[in-house]
Each structure stands twice: as C-alpha cells, then as structure tokens.
Amino acid sequence: MAQDPSRPRFVAGAIGPTNKTCSLSKEVEHPENRDIDFDTLKDSYFTQAKALYDGGVDIFLIETIFDTLNSKAAIFACTSLFEAPGYKRIPIMISGTIIGQSGRTLSGQTNEAFLTSVSHAKPFSVGLNCALGADQMRPFLERVSNWTDTYVSAYPNAGLPNAMGEYDESPEVMAVKIVEFAKSGLLNIVGGCCGTRPIHIKAFADSIKGIKPRAKITQNQTLVLSGLEPLVFSKDILFVNIGERCNVTGSRIFAKMVREGNYEGCVNVAKKQVEEGAQVLDINFDEGMIDGKDAIQKFIRLLSSDPDVSRVPLMIDSSDFAVIEAGLKEVQGKCIVNSISLKEGEEDFIKKARIIRSYGAAVVVMAFDEEGQAVMADHKFKICERSYNILTKQVGFPPEDIIFDPNVLTICTGMEEHAEYAIEFLKSIEMIKANLPFARVSGGLSNLSFSFRGKEAIRQAMHSAFLFHAIKKGMDMAIVNAGALPIYTDIEPSLLKLVEDAIFNRDPDATDKILHYAETHGAGAKKEEVIQEWRTKPVGERLTHALVKGIDLHINADVEEARHLFDHPLKVIEGPLMDGMNVVGDLFGSGKMFLPQVIKSARVMKKAVAYLLPFLEEIKRKNLLELGLPEDAEVSSGKILMATVKGDVHDIGKNIVGVVLGCNNYKVIDLGVMVPREVILDTAVRENVDIIGLSGLITPSLSEMVLVAKEMERRGLKIPLMVGGATTSRIHAAVKIAPCYSGFSCHVLDASKSVVVAGALLDKDLERRQNFIDDLKELYDEEREDYLLNKTELKFVSLAEARAKKYQIDFKSQEAPIKPQFVSSTKVFEDYPLEKLVPFFDWNPFFQVWQLRGKYPNRNYPNLFKDADVGEEAQKVFNDAQVMLKMIIEEKLLTAKGVIGFYPCSGEGEDVVVYTNDDRTEVLKTFYGIRQQAQNLDATKPYKALGDFVAPKDSGIKDYIGLFAVSSGFGAAELVKKYEDQNDDYSAILVKAIADRFAEAFAEVLHAEVRKTYWGYAPEEELNPAQLLKLKYRGIRPAPGYPTQPDHLEKQTMWDLMKVQESTGIVLTDSMAMVPAASVSGLYFANEQSSYFSVGKITREQLDDYAARKGADVEEVARMMPNVCEFCFD
C-alpha cells in the first residue's frame, strides 16, 4: 500500500467455523446431544474477535460456515464487541460452505435460508468458499447473487481433490472460470481457498481487470423467515398457518407428552402439523411443572434432526423471556419470537427487542401497554403504533420483521361487553395495515371460541369463518390447528349463519342457538339409519362397491350380468372391474383405504377374473385372429418379476406388494423365496419383464441384492430394478446398489409406493418417464454424496483401546452363577401347546405386517383400535386373526417345536468359550463376539461385547450359557398353499403373520420357563405377559444377526451344538435363514448386568481380527453383516 496509495489494502480477520457444531449431534441415537453450546461458542468467538480487532484488522470475515448456528454465535460475538467502549463497528463479511451438490450447508439449510438467517448482521458481503471447485460452486453462487442485496464474494477450491487429497486445477484453468463468473455479473469479491496459491490469486486479478463488478440488487421489503428452507411473505402468499399443537398451554396431549419425557411423541405432533399445512410451528412450554428452558432446548434440538419438520421456521412462544432466549440459542434459522409488549414499560420492551434482534429473529408485539390489554380497536392501534415507532426508530428493527397481535378475545361469554370483541379485532387489522408500513398482523384463533370448549366442530367452524373475514381485512398469519380447519364453503350453511351472527354480533341469542345446534348435531345426536342400497344400483356401480368393500358374495352373478353387456368378456375386466380397482388404487394411494382392505379387494378381483377365464380361453381358441391378439396376449399395465433373494425365506412383504401391483393391473411373476440371481435374471430376460423387484428381510440379503445389481451390469441389462424389505433403505440403494448398475435402480418403501414407482417407470409419456428417472437419480446422487461426506465424521477407537475400556463386571462380588438343571445336553419340545402361547402374543408386529400404523397416543395395540384413521380396519383384521387363531388351535394346523440346551462356558475377550463338560478342560465350541468400536463422546462409557457378560476362566467362577431354537411354522406352508390355490391371498398372509406371532411368543414363554425352572436363576419371578414384552426380567436372549451380535454365521454353532435340525426339523439355509420362516433362535445370558446393545460399525482392524479368530474368510464374514462392515473396505 505504501508503494501504491491509490490502491488501498485491507486486512480481513478470519473467524472460522471451528470443528464443533451447535446444530447437529454426532450421536445418531441421541440427536438432542451437542458437543458445544451457543454460549460457549459465542464466548470463544468474542475472545477471537477482540484479539483480531486489537491486532488491527479492518474487516471480520466469518467464513467456511457449515452450520448457520455457529455463524450466528460469531455474529453475536462481533456485534457484542461493537457495543463495548472503544470498539466501533467494522464491516462483517460472511461466507458459507455448500456440501456437495446438495445446495445446502452441512446443517441442512439452502443458500437462501442461510442468507436469511444471517441477514441481521447487515454484512458488507455474503458468499461461498471451500468444499467445491469453481465449476461445482457456480449454480449456488448464482443463487446467492440473485437473492442478496449486498456484495457477493467467492473463493472456490482449485477443483475437487484427487485420489491423494491434492488439488490439481492450475491458475490458468481457474482464471477462465472466474472470468465467466465476473462477466455473468455474479461477483464483487473473488479469491481462492483450498489448493490455491498466490499465483492463482494473481491470475484471477489479471483476468478480471476491467470487468464491471456485480451491481447490487434491490429486494422487496417483506418478511422472510427460514428453517432449512426460506419462507417469503410474498404477494402470492395469501395467509400463513402457524401450527398450534406444540403448545403445552393449548394441547393437553402435548403437555402430557412433555411431562412424561415422551419427546418422540412431541416431534410426531410437530410433524403432523407440518404435514397438515403448518408453514410455521409455534412451540410453547409455559407450564408450572415443566422446566421450560430445558424442554425448549431439547425439543428444538430433536426437531432439527427431522428435516421434514425443521424445513419450516419456528415461533418461540413464552411469557418467560429466559425461555425465549434459551430457544433462540438453539435455532439456526430466522424464527419469530412470541412475544413482547409494553406492559412492563418502554425500558423492558427495548431491552428485550434488542436481544431478539441480536439473534436475528422477527418479533410478535402484543397489544398490551402499562394500562393492560387493549380491547377496543383504537386502543389496540395506539399501542401498536407506539411499539412500531420505538422498534424502528430506537432499536433499529426492520419494520418488515414486526408482527402485531392485536389480541383475539373470547366472544359468546354471556357478557354484553364481550360481544363486539371480534369486530374490534377486525377493525384493528385495517388500521395497522393502513398506517404501519410493512408490519404484519397475527393472532391466536383459539381464544375466539373459548366459550365452546369441548365442542370442537363448533370451534373450528368459528375459526374458519372468522379467519375468512380477517384475511380479507389483511391478517397475514394466525396460530391454528392446520389440519382441523374446515373449508369456509364446506361449513354447513345453518351453522355458518350462527357463527357469523356471533362474530358480527348480529343476534343477541347467537350463543344459545349455537349451543342448541351443538346438542342436536354433535356426537350424541341421534343418527339416521343408513340403508344400504348398493344392490339396487347398476352393475358397474355394484362391482365397484364390491371391490372397494371386499365383498365377494355376489361377485360371480354380477360379473355374469356385466358379461352380457359387452361383446367380449375382456371388456368386463378392462371396463367395470378395472374402474373399480382404479377407485381402490386411488383410495389406497390417498390414505383412505388400508392394506387389509386392498388385499380383500384383490381377492374379489381374482375371483371375478377367475370366473371370466373360461370365457376368455374359449374365445381365444375360436377366434384369435379376429380379435387381433397374439396367442399369449395379456392385459396388463406391465410385467414385473418379483423374488426374495437367495438365502432369505421371508416373503410376506413381497406377497403384499405383489397383490397390490396385481390390483393395479400389473402382471406379476413371483419366483418365490431363496431365488439365486441367475434364476432371477434368466427368467427376467426370457419373460421380457419390464421391472425386477427384489425383496429381503435379513441383512445378508443386502449383499445379495448388490450382487444381483452387479450381475445385471455385467450382462448389460437395462431393466429397472426395485428393492424393498425390512432391512433395505433408500441410503443403501443409493450408496451400495446404484453405483453397481448403470440402469435405473431404486428403493421402494412400501406396497403403495410400488404402484407409484411402477407407474412412473412404465409411463407411456416418455418425457415424463425420463423426468421421473432423472429426478430420482439426482436425489440418489445427492444422498450418496452427503453420505460419503458425512461418514468421515464417524470416529473409531482402536481395538486395543476398546478392549481396555470393556464393560466391567465384578463377578466375584456377585452370587455364584446358578447351575442349570441339565448341562452339556438338550431338552426337546415336540408339540408345545399352542393355546398356552396366545396370551403372550405381541400384536404390534402383526399390525406392522399390514402397514396399519396408528398415531400417538393410539400407535400401539390395543389403543390402535381407537385410531381415527386405521383403528376400524385394525379391528377388522384383528377379528379375522381371532377366527384364524381359533381354527389353527382347534384343528392343530400348526405345530410348535423347539429345543434348549445349557453348557459350561467362560468369557474370553469378546468371545464365549463353551466346554465339553463341567470339568472345563476341553473346549467344545466358541461363540465369537464383536466389540463396539465407534468412539463414545462420553469418555466414561464402555465398549461392550457379549463376552463381557460371562465370567472369565481365570476368575475361577463356573459360568454357563443357554441356547434355544423354536419354530411354530410347521404346517404353515401347506395352509398357505391351500389359500393361495383359492386365490385367497388375504388368508395366506394372515396365516404367515399368525405363525410369526406364535414363534415369538414361544421364544418368550420358553425363556420364562428357563429363568424359573430349567436354569432356575429367577425362581420367584412373577411377571405378566405385558411385563415380559417390556423385558422386565433378568438376563437377555440375543440372536445372531441382530445388533448385539450381527453375524448370522454364529447360528451354525448353535445348530451344531444342539443338533437343531435333527431334533426339531428347523433348517438353516446357506445364508443362515431359518426354515420354517416362523422361527426364532438365540443365546441365553443370565448375569444380572447383561443387557442388549448395538455393536454399530467396526473397523477393518476388528474385522480381520474377528475373521482370524473364527478361521473364516474376511469377505464372507463381511457379507453376512454388511452394515457393520460398511467402512471396512474403503
């Protein structure tokens, strides 16, 4: 600068992101945890900012922002410094970092949401740096440039890192891209990040010399909020719904959940509000028995882990300002504070407003002053006007960030002075909008109808009618129960007149008339008798009714009648039957029908088609040419091959998908279970199928699906591939399957989605079809990139450290282990009485088979029957199950067999060594264990393995282990086939689901008998079935292939020890699946400190060690537990 004073130089003090994050948890199982809080980070930033300022920097550069809440802490620190004596404000530059091609920060915000969240800093410039090269950064930089009204900066990396982590892009190559940025008007400030050197910067400067900088744009002055995404109060948005149900003062259910610590339920309430149309979420924890600060902190942290909920902005609602500030410290987006007012005077009002502004929030101002709550419109406006002037002129609050709540007050109280309250509110809206530029108006609707508590239909009608008129006056938003509001035009006319008479005080008797209406039209009113007239309707309508209701009583007669109306029986299928099934599909897709109903509909459809088949065959034989059909003509929307992959015997889910697809006129070729990939692909080619669908339940199936995809690629196939099943996921499909197959592949969540995906893949509109494929591929690419970026954050301890910090049990201080009744031998159960098992059924998995999922508090059995959406259908399926159960037991259609065994053993590291007899001199077998290895954030937390729960040999303590294998599936296959031969898929699936319940109950009952008798370490145990299902007993029964021991291969050791196949007939497949499928097996541990845990991910070091101990092939072991070994082959 001394050499050339005409070109001033400035020093920017860089304030980086740190290696901590305020918005994210590093523990998936504990999303509410944080490794740093806002205040700690803010204080650290303050120290740094002060040192930089004292050192003479000209600008603060808050950069490489991956978590917006971190940057808000830095902004808070900088602005706090500027308020200190002697520290005048200097410019602040802000630069964020976009992760991959997602267009989002690591904490999930879009460019626009991020910029909105930091706008209160009034930055000199905003922009992007790091993570991306210039090519990848460009689209996101353009979005920044188009959004912000300040200067824009960019300093990209020198391309993307190569395989060695180095950056290859030369100054000349980068300069060409920077010139394009400048010529396109995207830039004011440019620089370089990772991989760039001074020679790069010189090349940029030389190249852009003379190019006109980007011109600032002018934004519309309007309220903009943000969650993960922005919410712009544009002219296109007529009204914004603020969800009211996450409020302990307004929702007894929510308050009860909070008091009970059921925050999962609280998050589901929030999710439902968003699903039902809430664009902002109001959250309030003002209740005497609740710690508001702790509750709001935990709840917001949990919300941030759910992207569907956290995409919307929050309204932090409390009468305790300390709770409000606690909430503000957890929100990365731009939220609303509800509320402040003048009731404590101007000094308190200004203080709180400045604090709110320092966090970047908008504010709700209530129409209160030192005299109290305003009632009349003139007083309401007077308070709002005074507040507006203070905020804009003294505090510096942007007027567009001010929201007035002129107090919605209760009408119909019986007091004459309250009768005009609604009218006064409507008047005040007009006054505010006319005189206070850019300010917004909100209100809480529930106050209006408080007189009618318990009469929800009346209340919601009042809210809808009042809102209709308030919006016309200029109301911008309101706190509402978004899903409960009826459409204004749908309100019953006589009720609408009554509530509007009350709102506008047109009838002094309006209250009494509304109460009378409620008594005669409410839940207790006499219902008119519904006369079923469907049998008198035209045959097409009768067929539709029969299909929708699943009634097959008259189906043959109705189909026969319909056949005579058409010149070809095929037209009965294509016409009325498919019309009916389209109704079924629409109802199912919209959530108005449920899976059991659809399967019953399928049964009716199959019977209808079966009736027509002889007529179709006869016509084919007589006049094929006249019909213009090939000999193998099929009427279908497409041909789909489905198979459960090799090694897996589970097919309930696959069968349901097949039925639903069949309902929607797809030709399904079901190859059954345990199908080798060669058979799948050979059949697919031979049958010229349109789609291949793979199903699997156990984790080895994931690896098999990958092998199928690789083989499809090797063969050069382009058939779309759909995968589904309990262990599958979209992220697995994106990361493991999609890279192996250049054709289209995707994960399908459930049966209803299979129809949607199949329809899109076979859409005859080729452009629309390609758009669907491209969109989904792009989504999978983004998810894969996010996953690969985020997985590096998972840290591991060495195997030696994990072993050093193993779970410690002081075996010598415990009572000596009880010796089982028999050791080194087994007891076989040939035909366990089924009737003894029924009281121990856990019915919840049964309903999950049918995809009948209730909502809190009716999520689980038996409350599920009360659920408004699925309760009725759940009751029907349950009733059908009782009939089936009775028949199975009375006719002995299923047989339950099992075996248990006990063996001397000792713990040895992760493993359990089993001895030939109680002399313990000869090793018989070893059960190998895997130790947790993912680094614990809590340094005191141990790393568990199953071997920790058994006394080591050198302790001198004689310990024991138990084994079991049970099945109730003997006879199931024959019964299923019987129903399938009758085209009765519903009953076939019912049999499988019930057999599974018998097997799980058998395992539970037998474990209880082991504890009390056969092993006898808990002889006094008296637990009812509900307590057993909640694991209230001592000991555990982990199963190989599950989180505590994820290696399915360990089942083989159990089969060898107890001769399971010989003694019971339960067979292990090559992939360790059990046949019959309704089977359960596992190990018994008796120690009082034994507990279930999840191994999680491990490193290659432990995989090699584990395989070496077993004497097994490393890749074969990894194939049996792919999720655990996810990072072992990087």
Q: Which residues are catalytic?
A: 648, 650, 701
Find residue 247's DSSP bridge partners.
Answer: 284
Q: Which of 916, 911, 904 is nearest to 1109 (CA)?
A: 911
Note the maximum CA span of the chain.
103
Cα–Cα–Cα angle for 909, 914, 915, rounded to 5 degrees: 125
With b for 16 or more beta-carbon neighbours within 10 A and e for fewer, the 857-874 pattern comes to ebeebeebbebeebbebb
Cα–Cα distance for residue pair 998/881, rounded to 1 Å? 12
Structure tokens at 246: 């996450």
Cα–Cα distance for residue pair 453/853, rounded to 1 Å? 29
User: Counting Cβ atoms within 10 Å, is residue 429 exposed (0-12), middle (13-18) or buried (19+)?
Assistant: buried
Cα–Cα distance for residue pair 619/610, rounded to 1 Å? 15
Q: How far is CA 739 from the centre of its chain?
A: 24
Q: What DSSP element (H or E) covers 960?
A: strand 959-970
Structure tokens at 55: 């050192």
Cα–Cα distance for residue pair 826/821, rounded to 1 Å? 10
Q: Which residues contact 741 (CB under 8 A, 6 or more apart)?
A: 709, 710, 712, 713, 721
Alpha carbons within 13 angstroms on the beta-carbon side of residue 809 total: 22
Residue type, 508: P
Write out the DSSP string of 22-64.
Answer: SS--S-TT-TT--SS-HHHHHHHHHHHHHHHHHTT-SEEEEEE
SS3 649: coil
Q: Which residues contact 481 (CB under 8 A, 6 or more apart)?
A: 243, 244, 245, 273, 460
Q: Are 124 and 153 in contact (CB under 8 A)?
A: no
Strand 1074-1075 to 1067-1068 pairing: antiparallel
Write out the DSSP string of 298-309.
Answer: HHHHHHHT-HHH
Cα–Cα distance for residue pair 1065/782, rounded to 1 Å? 47
Write out the DSSP string of 123-148.
Answer: -SEEEEEEEEEHHHHHHHHHHHHHH-
SS3 613: helix
Cα–Cα distance for residue pair 556/569, rounded to 1 Å? 13
Q: Which of 401, 417, 508, 518 is nearest to 462 (CA)?
A: 518
Cα–Cα distance for residue pair 550/534, rounded to 1 Å? 13
Find residue 15's DSSP bridge partners.
Answer: 62
Q: Are 701 and 736 in contact (CB under 8 A)?
A: no
Ramachandran assignment for 215, one of left (phi > 0), alpha (psi -120 to 50 degrees), beta (any other):
beta
SS3 1051: helix
Q: Are 983 and 940 in contact (CB under 8 A)?
A: no
SS3 369: strand
Cα–Cα distance for residue pair 904/960, rounded to 1 Å? 5
Cα–Cα distance for residue pair 1111/1129, rounded to 1 Å? 19
